[in-house]
Amino acid sequence: MTNELTTLSAAALSELIRTRRVSAVEVVRAHLDAIDRFNPVINAIVSMRPEEALHDARERDRQLAAGEWLGPLHGLPFAVKDLMDVAGIRTTHGSRIYADHIAEADSVISGRIRDAGAVFVGKTNVPEFGVGSHTFNDVFGATGNPYDLTRSAGGSSGGAAAAVTAGLLPVADGSDLGGSIRNPASFTNLVGLRPTAGRVASARPGNAWDPGSVLGPLARDVKDAALLLSVISAPERRAPLSIDEDPSLFRSLQPRSFHGARIALSEDLGGLPLDPEVRQATLAAARLAESLGAEVVPVELDMSEADLVFETFRSLEFLDGHGDDAARYPELVKQTLKDDISWTGSFTPALIAKAGGARTRLFRQFQALLGDYDLVLAPCVQVLPFPIEWEYPTEIDGIAMDKYYAWQRSCSRITATAMPALSMPMTFSRAGLPIGVQFVGPYRGDRLLLEYGLSWEAAVADVMARRPDLGEVAS
């Protein structure tokens, strides 16, 4: 039973623990055993605390025996992304500057996860300060893709995605600015939701009015993504974009049929280059949606202002969040972050005002589009998981990339619209690498996306059931 526990969903484990058919100690120990066996080669979980985790698991069992059930994560092993503070645990941000930093208090998301009964086993690996969609840093090294350890698991939630798909964790949190949930979900055959800004509120420093960077779930199925979302989404007085809706609405999802749905198909999100296998997978997804009863209509989206919006506000966020670190410790900060910060030197008030107006236009354009259509279907990531030794892809299908993050514009252009997006598995490449697609929904349409996701996962059940085989690489 021990090995089987790491294959079960978070929802199934939660029910087994709640009904005392298995103990929290058994569940945590099973996952710690998997971490001991596989994490040395995957490098997904960092700052591990196995003894403390077992102690906390025993406490969860004592609480349950006394009739106290803390919530749907009661007794489940959890590792928060290493950009978010967890009290008493090292939070490095993947940076040598903070390599020995011990958090004094929980972040909002970590506090909610703790309050729901989770047992913290460590943190999940990230690129330095979450910059770039490939997970590597000078503190812990690179995270490998469990489907092919010579390939990237994506980022910046690459450690979270690799851990969940490999069975080291049942579910995990991520964050998404330019695709940091959707990208690793696509690379590792997972469900990843970029929620509407404010759905998962944060009290982090910085511009709280900016809808670009959001927090959300990564899971092996939609029900688990919804379960975690129900824990981490709640109003927060310190977050001005916080959505004041009962998070329990994500615990009662029903599959939403594609029959009769109208779907706008954007094959390349405004002319972006795609790996041919990604393009084929996106078109195959459109055919699958039609077979499920949807009307799929190819559309030409005007994304001409999306890069201006994303790139302007991204650089401003990094200037605000990491400008001081880069100025104080330039030798400890990677060049791509320094480049992003330096680009703000050419920003004029007129450019920033233009980007703000463009963001409003994009929002209204997509709200209008999603008044005529139920969903937008688009490629999630423009490339297949690339070699782990690369810092980032420099070309796609023969076209050179002009910036270090240009290869992920299929995600970042959706970020610029402020719409929620759901990355769902679709197929595997000829080399056995996962390829996902993304569904974009209307503003605050997070529940709608997940309900369509339930129907989609039933249609691609064979793809989602294909988990990585790590037996030969166990240490």
Token readout for 400 is 């050179």
Backbone φ and ψ for 461, nearest 5 degrees, come out as -60, -35
What is residue 473's predicted lDDT score, i.e. its pLDDT? Answer: 65
Known catalytic residues are 81, 156, 180
Round to whole Å and give the CA distance between 447 and 121: 30
| pLDDT for residue 474 | 59
pLDDT tens for each residue of 277-302: 999 999 999 999 999 999 999 999 99
Residue 1 pLDDT level (bands cut at 50, 70, 90): very low
**Contact (Cβ atoms closer than 8 angstroms) between residue 162 and residue 155:** no
- Residue 331 above 70 pLDDT? yes
Using CA atoms, how far residue 417 sits from 191, 221, 391, 421, in Å, is 21, 26, 27, 10
What is the model's pTM? 0.98
Assess whether pLDDT exceeds 60 at residue 2. no
pLDDT digits (tens, 9 = 90+) for 104-136: 999 999 999 999 999 999 999 999 999 999 999
Predicted local distance difference test score (pLDDT) of residue 472: 67
At 319 the pLDDT is: 97
- What pLDDT, on a 0 to 100 scale, did the predictor assign at position 3? 79
The yes-or-no verdict on residue 475 having pLDDT over 80 is no
Span 163-201, pLDDT tens digits: 999 999 999 999 999 999 999 999 999 999 999 999 999
Backbone phi, psi, residue 245, to 5°: -135, 150
Beta bridge partners of 90: 102
Q: List Cα–Cα distances, 134 to 137, 152, 154, 334, 336, in angstroms.
A: 10, 6, 5, 13, 12
pLDDT by residue (tens digit) across 252-273?
Answer: 999 999 999 999 999 999 999 9
**315-334 average pLDDT score:** 97
Cα Rg of the chain, angstroms: 21
Give pLDDT tens digits for 384-441: 999 999 999 999 999 999 999 999 999 999 999 999 999 999 999 999 999 999 999 9
User: With pLDDT > 90 as the criterion, what percentage of the chain qualifies?
Assistant: 97
Contact by Cβ (8 Å): 362, 305: yes
Query: Token pair for residue 103?
Result: 């958090």
pLDDT at 418: 98
- Kind and range of the H or E run holding 317: helix 306-328
Mean pLDDT, the chain, rounded, equals: 97
| Cβ-based neighbour number of residue 307 at 10 Å | 18
pLDDT tens by residue, 445-457:
999 999 999 999 9
d(CA 468, CA 456): 21
Q: Residue 135 has what pLDDT?
A: 98
CA distance 154 to 427: 17
Task: Write the CA distances from 7 to 30, 173, 192, integer angstroms.
Answer: 10, 18, 18
Ordered structural domains, the chain, with CATH:
2-473 (3.90.1300.10)
